[in-house]
């Protein structure tokens, strides 16, 4: 069934929309129905089930909004959709020629997937496009929603912001050095995705996190492969991480990096119930796989506005790369933001 705005909601909605050269600007929360978008690609088509939306059947199939005015502020991008079968279906979200993030749907139950980015200033559309089709799934998309975000940023660079993110801490051996290296390099915003069970035994590292002013978010309590778990098992583990972080004196997380980046509909539902938006990396530095310091630097050189790299708080090679990573990003005109 289509979503209709009541007259009261429509009035409130109109108060949040401003116009710049006749183009809508994202000011609060705006929803774009996919079936009302421009379709492209060989097979993209409107559908009526499991919702009124669009089916994207093959690589380069897309649906696209009209031009939207952006002001270089952080936004949360949410897409409701599902796969046509039990396989995981993925949609890339492109803005101004750049892939800002991806959302994945496992199974046929419609879910909402979100990520945060900072679009560059300008007027341009948002495109939902399939780029990694393997022939084993189709993706159905219902709507795109754009809303303001509570994440912090340092005012932004001329090219937008990037999000430096670090998983698996805290760590008594490396966390304080990592924090110091970031601040010494002039990075005022970063995000730590924390394993809850690591907090109690790594108080030196934990205190470095808390005193840094950087964002502390959820990376699960036990860092296990969860795709075979029940909903309650997943929920309990993620909730335990939230509790450990809060008991340690940090705010309740609103974001999560999933262990091993593994997801399915059960995991997504548990995240949604806990108010956790899933943050997937846009660049894999391979620091976890023995990458050299120079390789980690090279990987971060490919970051685009709104992107975040997969890095970890446990490797000396990563710590050694921080100063050059930050300087290279600054040289490209980027500022820094945190989730």
Max CA distance (Å), the chain: 59
In whole angstroms, give the CA distance from residue 213 to residue 128. 34
Residues 239/257/154/330 CA torsion (nearest 10 deg): 160
- Phi/psi at 275 (5° precision): 70, 30
**Residue 210 pLDDT > 60:** yes
pLDDT digits (tens, 9 = 90+) for 103-149: 888 889 998 888 888 787 788 899 999 998 889 999 999 999 888 74
In whole angstroms, give the CA distance from residue 150 to residue 76. 9
**Mean pLDDT of all residues belonging to the chain:** 87
- Phi/psi at 234 (5° precision): -65, -50
Query: Structure pTM?
Result: 0.59
Going from the N-terminus, what domains does the chain have, and what CATH number goes with each?
A: 20-148 (2.60.120.260), 152-338 (3.20.20.370)
For residue 98, the model assigns a pLDDT of: 81
Q: What DSSP element (H or E) covers 232?
A: helix 231-247
For helices 175-184 and 203-212, the axis angle rounded to 10 degrees is 20
Question: How much of the chain, in percent, has pLDDT values that exceed 90?
Answer: 69
pLDDT band with cut points at 50, 70 and 90 for residue 71: confident
Residue 329 CB neighbours (<10 A): 22
pLDDT digits (tens, 9 = 90+) for 236-271: 999 999 999 999 999 999 999 999 999 999 999 999
Q: Is the dihedral of CA 148, 70, 218, 82 positive or negative?
A: positive
Exposure of 299 by Cβ count < 10 A (0-12 exposed, 13-18 middle, 19+ buried)?
buried
pLDDT digits (tens, 9 = 90+) for 147-188: 874 455 565 667 788 999 999 999 999 999 999 999 999 998
* Least confident piece of the model among 90-99, 152-161, 192-201, 308-317: 152-161
Question: How much of the chain, in percent, has pLDDT values that exceed 70?
Answer: 89
Residue 262 CB neighbours (<10 A): 14
CA of residue 33 relative to chain centroid, distance: 21
**Residue 10 pLDDT > 70:** no
């Amino acid at each position: 069934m289509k979503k209709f705005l009541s007259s009261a909601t429509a009035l409130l909605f109109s108060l949040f929309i401003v116009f710049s050269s006749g183009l809508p600007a994202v000011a609060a929360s705006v929803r774009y129905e996919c079936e009302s978008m421009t379709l492209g690609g060989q097979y993209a088509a409107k559908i009526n089930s499991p919702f009124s939306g669009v089916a994207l059947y093959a690589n380069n199939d897309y649906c696209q909004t009209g031009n939207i005015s952006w002001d270089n502020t952080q936004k949360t991008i949410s897409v409701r959709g599902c796969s046509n079968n039990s396989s995981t279906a993925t949609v890339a979200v492109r803005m101004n020629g750049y892939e800002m993030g991806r959302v994945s749907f496992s199974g046929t139950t419609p879910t909402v997937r979100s990520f945060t980015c900072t679009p560059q200033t300008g007027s341009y559309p948002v495109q939902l496009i399939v780029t990694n089709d393997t022939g084993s799934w189709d993706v159905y998309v219902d709507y795109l929603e754009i809303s303001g975000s509570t994440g912090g940023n340092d005012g932004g660079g001329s090219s937008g912001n990037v999000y430096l993110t670090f998983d698996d801490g805290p760590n008594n051996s490396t966390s304080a050095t990592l924090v110091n290296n970031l601040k010494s390099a002039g990075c005022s915003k970063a995000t730590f995705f924390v394993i809850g069970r690591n907090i109690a035994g790594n108080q030196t590292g934990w205190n470095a996190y808390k005193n840094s002013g950087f964002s502390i978010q959820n990376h699960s309590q036990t860092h296990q492969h969860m795709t075979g778990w029940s909903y309650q098992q997943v929920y309990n583990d993620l909730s335990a991480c939230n509790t450990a972080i809060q008991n340690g004196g940090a705010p309740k997380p609103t974001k999560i990096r999933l262990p091993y980046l593994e997801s399915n509909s059960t995991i997504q539902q548990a995240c949604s119930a806990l108010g956790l938006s899933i943050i997937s990396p846009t660049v894999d530095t391979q620091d976890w796989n023995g990458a050299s310091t120079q390789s980690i630097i090279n990987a971060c050189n490919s970051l685009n506005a709104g992107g975040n790299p997969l890095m970890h708080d446990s490797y000396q090679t990563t710590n050694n790369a921080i100063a050059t990573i930050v300087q290279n990003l600054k040289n490209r005109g980027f500022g820094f933001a945190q989730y």
